Amino acid sequence: MADGPPRTEQVEDIASLDRAIAGLESQRSLLGDDVAETALAPLRERRAALLLRHAGEQRKLVTVLFADLVDFTVLSRRLDAEDTRAVVGAYFSRWNDAITAQGGTVEKFIGDAVMAVFGLAQSWEDDAQRAIRAALAMTEGLTALNAELEASHGVQLQMRVGIDTGDVVVSTLEERAGHEFVAVGPTVNRASRIQSAAPPGRVLISGDTHRQVRGWFSVEPVRGLVLKGIDDPVDAYLVVSERPHGFRLDRAGGVEGVNTATVGRELELRTLQERLLDVIEDSQWCVVTMLGDAGVGKSRLLLDFDSWLEERPEPVWWFRGRASQSGSNRANALLHDLVASRFLIQDTDPPEVVRDKFGTGFAAAFDDDVRAGSAARLVAAWLGFDPQSSDGLPSDPQSLRDQASAALADYLAALSRTAPVVVLLEDLHWADDGSLRWLDTVDRFLHDRPVLVVATARPVLLEQRPRWGEGLAHHARVQLEPLSRRASRQLLSQILQRVDEPPAALVNLVIEAAEGNPFYIEELVTWLVEAGVIVKGDGAWQVVEQLLGDVAVPSTLRGVLQARLDSLTPGERGLLQRASVVGRVFWDEAVARLDGGAVPTAGSTAGPTAGPTPASEVLDGLRRRELVFEREVSAFESAREFLFKHALLRDVAYEGVLRAHRERYHRLTALWLADVSGRTGREREYAALIAQHFDSARSPEAAHWCLRAGRQAAAVFALEEATRLLGRGLELAPETDPGLRFDLLAERETVLERIGDRSGQEVDLTEMDALTARLPDDEPRRLTLLLARARSSFEHSDYDRVLELTSQVAEAAERAGLPARAVEARLWRGKALTWNEDLDGARNCLAAARDLAHQLGRLWLEGEALRYLAMVANDSGDFPLALEMIALSRRAFAEDGDREAEAVAATMQATTAFHMGRIEEARVVFEEVLEVFRRSGHRYREAVVVGNIGSVAFAEGRLAEAALRSEEAAELTRQLADIEATANNLLVVADVDVAVGRWEAAHRILDEALELATSVSSARLAAGTFARGALLAIEEGDVTSAVELARKGVEEISATPSPMDRGHCHTALGYAELAQGDLDAAEAAFGQSREDHLLVDREPLVREAEVGIAAVALQRGDLARAVDLVRPVLGRVDPQGLQDCLRPASVLLTTWRVLDHAQDPEAETLLSRARAFILDRAEATGDPGMADGYLAKIAETQLLRESERRLGR
């Protein structure tokens, strides 16, 4: 019986905890799920403990620990009372720390004895393990304590520990002598007796505890132990140590000491073996998920696979990790265990030892010590091994996660270059979100590496993640079904190999009860041994057949569930069936509503009724019978939250609900969820669940909730979920509601734009067009459509259409009093003007958009206008102004909380740095933001950054990478129908082809680029194409074509405001005129190039123009002027000094010729440095064929020939 309501101060304590929990929940979106759950766990446990004080008496499965000092009575005679108290106090303090650190509760200190209980306020599957870890920690800690006590009191302590697992009755009545609770029962007595039998300094555990932890600890069996007060001898085990991290599979296990071979899993084992062989031969990674109910043999199959791998002669890198129920709320717990097992990191290792183990482990993968050290620090900090060491690590948690995720994947990829990597993961259904996210995102790092991940999971994994591995080429599932009767008999025969001809009654009893579950077969045999039906002997075992009819045989999981449901009263069974409609997680208030409770009306704010509901009372009974569990903290303040003990139990209960009632129950559930989540401010979180219930109820509200849920999914970049929800909403939305259908289409069109599904986007826009005709007076929706069309036209580079549409929107929005729409219209208009190269018009339009957005407090729109103002400044050559605009843009995006938009602004910052010659800075930023866009799924932005990385690689001379990246970007932009971006990427590919002498390929690429530039009327792109064509013609010796193309380029670019683009075209013209021998025209062109590049402060490009003028002066015989012009080159014969030069080898060749004619002593030094520069550039290409082509070009060949002739090299 309960002891009445809690006292006022205790109610206040619980309320205080509830407020703290609610506060953390409200910051979940800011903190992230991993951090929030880690912070919430101790608060939930404390709340559960407070609630438990008023739960009355209950029966629980717990692990009890007893510890006692050896001969302390004799020892205490040497000490006075005050010293004795100090010694015992220090001892008890250490024990308290060890117990609470493992989640246990100190039940009492008696004299010099300690009693602790594990699994009281919160039960975990590893409570027995926790108890033993606490005992081992205290055993180890006693050494340090004894050193202190020896120094302070001249004494040392010895203790012994006993541990048992079993049922106890827990009394939590407040009047019990000041104790919060008292646990009583045979388990408490056995733990005390086992402690008395333990040798000094050792930990002794019972057989029941050993069964809970088998394989996790090294033990020494103690057979036939006689304990005081216990009639029959018992088996116990001395704990030696905890085994190193891994699966703790007991290779010497079996049942009652009998080893068995796996039966009935030959096909599944062969599947795993074939997968590994495929991974090795094809060098393609693979993830195999083995799904099966508890006890069906997943771990045993892993053990067999593990054994097969050990027998193979080829070396393999091994990784093992296990998720646990108690670790599911701990950030990166599975990856933490995985790395700890690989590096043999123990919980007791001090930080410096952990760092050393990480350093050694990562050094085995990377040749570069700096790279290994950086990766080790990142991963150690991210996984929580070394949180105090932050030197050189990203301060932003998301940046740390992203970089560390990549570093861990890189580590596996690097290891796989020396031997295949096999990662074995167990209990994936309990894995934390961070570890599962890592598995989801590393395909881009490991797709072409021989890495095999084998994971086991219960089917509940697919409830939590229904699309786990779905549609992924590297992912496979292996379903483990129950054993056949024949295989079950084979397994039983192995277990009973010491029984001569097992009775048919025994065989049938086990086979029928186990239903093909090997774990249940083994457990049933163990239980029969303990029940005395099977009697073990030194040799043969005996079966006491007359006892077979008297025992109550445990059933299978499915059989137990059905039988238990059938045994309930009609009221209890009906309640569970209604709860099953709510879901595996359900709330008492919801179930009460389904039982004829009042249905909330729209806008209802009524709170919960006082006192327990009948549903709550029945649920308390079901909880005590362990059919459902109650969660410590409910998602809803007004309701208690429950969980079906097993997903299968929920399914069995749901199947019993009459179909005639299901739809009504689903509707009532949806209404309750909508009401209560609205009152608690969590409607968005539950929108998808509410939509699902309305959908199952065939209710008209379903489409509206699909729209809300789709918007929420899109807001967190869950694009697939958003598309599915919005699509389902369209299926449900009636044709008679054009407004709802329009809103669903508008949301989906935006999602499809992000995904890059242009054809699907156009289909939705077309239907939106048709719907607006049915909504003639709906101006806001008409403007939504026009802006959507403008966005689509922009992505297709149809800038004139964008200008037309945005003009309509701006005027209509101002008339209709919709300033936000007017801002959007001005913004898109400014973007179109920018790409149409009307920089003055763009600047004015964007400034107006920025100012209006600022007035309205629309931070994102303000940030985007500032970003485009930076682009205009870039195109105008005003790089300092561009950086100023970018800083303001990033600030606005940061204040708005949009990290992806901030990454877009960072992309512009990198572009500006690139234009200013800060190439390495640009590359670093581009690579960082690329990960952001790949995670968010925004393929257009990904394509832009990939193309920029290609440009950076070309500037750094890494021509193979430049070609690869630019071709990848061109393919992406082709798919997205972005003509201008495709042309830009093709021009970089052409630059590579020209640089390495692939003339035919360069012609083909330039022809395609020119066609694309012409189709969008881009003078800038056309001019760039002509300039590159001129340089190509010079290399081919076609001077006439070179001059013609260069002049076309200058003509096209003359009207554009970009000094950089004009300068490039004039440089190309200078080279062409010089090759033709028109010295006046060449000097004029180089002179104009010099002026253009001075405007943007590009010193290398200014020097290239001046060296061109020097070439003219040399041909005219003005040697002194030529020397003065080339002199600045002498100190900058390096990649930075010649950065972005169109023909760097020509710059060096002309400089050397001028100095050589002048008999300048620097000529030989320059020639030597020029040779080194060219050879370094050839090596930097990253491809032997490209290097040969680069060295075969005119200027490069002449420089190498002269260096060999003059320098003898």
pLDDT in tens, 814-860: 888 899 899 999 999 999 999 888 999 999 999 999 999 999 988 88
* Residue 34: predicted pLDDT: 58
Closest CA to 933 of 914, 906, 909: 906
Report the pLDDT value the prediction gives residue 859, as an integer from 0 to 100: 87
The string of DSSP codes covering 93-154 is HHHHHHHHHTT-EEEEEETTEEEEEESSSS--TTHHHHHHHHHHHHHHHHHHHHHHHHHHHS
CA 323 – CA 299 distance, rounded (Å): 13
What are the pLDDT digits (tens) for 863-888? 999 999 999 998 888 889 999 999 99
Can you tell me the distance from the alpha carbon of 975 to that of 914, in angstroms, rounded to the nearest whole number? 27
User: Span 11-31, mean pLDDT?
Assistant: 62
- Cα separation, 792 vs 803, in Å, equals 12
**Over 60: is that where the pLDDT of 254 sits?**
no
Q: What is residue 961's predicted lDDT score, i.e. its pLDDT? A: 92
Q: Which CATH architecture describes the domain 1018-1097?
A: Alpha Horseshoe (1.25)
Q: What is the mean pLDDT of residues 267-294?
A: 89
pLDDT of residue 253: 46
Question: Which residue do the tokens 């002509």 mark?
Answer: 1026
Can 59-242 and 266-479 be said to share one CATH topology? Answer: no
Q: Check: CB of residue 728 under 8 Å from CB of residue 720.
A: no
Please state, in angstroms and rounded to a whole number, the distance separating the CA atoms of residues 1091 and 1069. Answer: 14
Average pLDDT over residues 669-686: 73
Euclidean distance between CA atoms 1067 and 1105, whole angstroms: 6
What is the tens place of the pLDDT at every residue in 50-61? 655 554 556 678
Q: How many helices (H) and strands (E) does the chain have?
A: 53, 18
pLDDT confidence of 731, banded at 50, 70, 90?
Answer: very high
* CA nearest neighbour of 107 among 91, 94, 121: 121
Q: Nearest Cα to 871, choosing from 898, 819, 822, 910?
A: 910
- Has residue 514 got a pLDDT over 90? no
pLDDT band at residue 608 using 50, 70 and 90 as cut-offs: very low
> What sign results for the dihedral spanned by CA atoms 525, 531, 532, 536?
positive
Residue closest to 33 by CA, chosen among 466, 467, 397, 427? 397
* Banded pLDDT at 195 (limits 50, 70, 90): very high
* Mean pLDDT score, 263-289: 89
The pLDDT score that the predictor gives to residue 17 is 67
Can you give the pLDDT at residue 57? 56
Q: CA-based angle 859:865:871, to the nearest 5?
A: 140
| d(C-alpha 139, C-alpha 144), whole Å | 10
Answer whether 326's CB lies under 8 Å from 126's CB: yes
pLDDT for 787 beyond 80: yes
Mean pLDDT for 771-790 is 92
pLDDT of residue 607: 36
Stretch 1190-1200: mean pLDDT, rounded? 91
Residue 216 pLDDT? 72
Topology (CATH) of 555-660: Arc Repressor Mutant, subunit A (1.10.10)
**Least reliable range by pLDDT among 27-31, 239-243, 720-724:** 27-31
pLDDT band at 636 (very low <50, low <70, confident <90, very high): low
The answer, yes or no, to whether residue 929 has pLDDT greater than 60, is yes
Distance CA 1074, CA 1113 (A): 11
Three-class DSSP category at 1061: helix
Query: Amino acid identity of 799?
Result: Y
Contact status, residue 1171 vs residue 1203, Cβ threshold 8 Å: yes
Whether 710 and 623 have beta carbons less than 8 Å apart is answered as no
Structural contact between residues 345 and 321, judged by C-beta atoms closer than 8 angstroms: no
**Both tokens of residue 1163?**
């000529």
Q: Tell me which residue has tokens 């995720």.
A: 405
Structure tokens at 1155: 């100095």
Query: Which of 394 and 62 is assigned the larger pLDDT?
Result: 62
Q: Which two tokens stand for residue 324?
A: 């646990």
Q: What is the tens place of the pLDDT at every residue in 318-356? A: 888 888 654 455 567 788 888 888 887 764 456 788 788
Other beta carbons within 10 angstroms of residue 26's beta carbon come to 13
pLDDT, tens only, 462-510? 887 887 887 778 888 888 898 899 988 888 888 888 888 888 888 888 8
Provide mean pLDDT across the span 670-686. 72
Tell me which DSSP letter residue 546 carries.
G
Instruction: Report whether pLDDT(682) > 60.
Output: no
pLDDT given at position 1171: 92
pLDDT value at residue 350: 65
pLDDT at 949 over 70: yes
State CA 203 to chain mean position distance: 41
Residue 160: strand, helix, or coil: strand
* Cα 375 to Cα 408: distance, rounded to the nearest angstrom: 7
Continuous segment of H or E residues that includes residue 453: strand 451-457
Q: Which fold has domain 59-242?
A: Alpha-Beta Plaits (3.30.70)
CA–CA separation, 1144 vs 1140, rounded Å? 8
How far apart CA 41 and CA 124 sit, in angstroms, is: 13
Residue indicated by tokens 């409770």 = 597
Separation CA 374–CA 394 (nearest Å): 11
**For residue 938, is pLDDT > 80?**
no
Instruction: Please state whether beta strands 203-206 and 159-171 pair in parallel, antiparallel, or not at all (unpaired).
Output: parallel
Which CATH number applies to 917-1003: 3.90.1150.10, 1.10.3720.10, 1.25.40.10, 1.10.287.70? 1.25.40.10
Task: Give the DSSP letter string of 631-646.
Answer: -SS-SSTTS-EEEESS
pLDDT at 247: 39
pLDDT, greater one: 1048 or 403? 1048
DSSP letter string, 9-23: HHHHHHHHHHHHHHH
Average pLDDT of the chain, as a whole number = 82
Of the candidates 1015, 991, 1022, the residue with the CA atom closest to the CA atom of residue 1005: 991
Give me 568's structure tokens.
Answer: 């309930």
CA 1078 to chain centre: 62
Structure pTM?
Answer: 0.47
With both helix axes pointing from N to C terminus, report the angle between 8-26 and 33-52 in degrees, rounded to the nearest 10.
170
Question: At a CB cut-off of 8 Å and minimum separation 6, what does 617 contact?
Answer: none
Report the CATH architecture of 266-479: 3-Layer(aba) Sandwich (3.40)
d(CA 626, CA 61) in angstroms, rounded, equals 11
Q: Does pLDDT of 958 surpass 80?
A: yes
The 8-class DSSP code of residue 296 comes to S
Structure tokens at 607: 């709170």
Per-residue pLDDT tens digits for 96-142: 999 988 888 888 887 778 999 998 766 777 789 999 999 999 988 89
| Every domain of the chain and the residues it spans | 1-55, 59-242, 266-479, 485-554, 555-660, 783-832+843-848, 858-912, 917-1003, 1018-1097, 1109-1209
Tokens describing residue 1169: 């440095």
